Amino acid sequence: MDKIYLNGMGFYGYHGVFPEENKLGQRFFVDLVLETDLSPASQTDDLNKTVNYAEAYKKTKEIVEGKPKKLVETVAEMIAQQILDQFSIVQACTVKVTKPDPPIPGHYKSVAIEMKRCRDE
C-alpha cells in the first residue's frame, strides 16, 4: 500500500479537560498518514485519482478548530472518520495529534496520541 504523509499541520483549538484549556485554547499539531494505491494517479498525473492535500488539510482544520472536545482521542477519531468518509480511495488513515506543553504537573515537551482506522470492506 502506498502512503501520503501530511506532517506538522498546526492549528489553534480549545480541547482539553481543564477549564483553562477550553477558555484560553492552545496549539495542536496533526500528522496524517493516508494509505492508498497511488498507481492510478502516478500513471495519469490526474489529481482526481489521488487525495487532494488541500482538502485533507481543510477537513482537519475544521475539526481541530471546531467545537471543543475533552479528549484529543475524540479529535483524532473524528479526523480519521472524516478522511475515510471524504476520500473513498483511502484504505487506512493514521492520525497523530500532539498537544505541546500540556497543563499537567512536571515538565513535558508534549503529549500525543496516535490511532489508525481502516476502511471496513
Tens digit of pLDDT at every position of the chain (121 positions):
999 999 999 999 999 998 888 999 999 999 999 999 999 999 999 999 999 999 999 999 999 999 999 999 999 999 999 999 999 999 999 999 999 988 777 767 889 999 999 998 5
The CATH number that applies at residue 76 is: 3.30.1130.10
| Structural domain for 87, as ranges | 2-118
For the chain, the domain total comes to: 1
- List the catalytic residues: 99
- 49-55, long-range: CB < 8 A, 24+ apart: 49/89, 50/4, 50/89, 51/4, 51/87, 51/89, 51/90, 53/4, 53/6, 55/86, 55/87
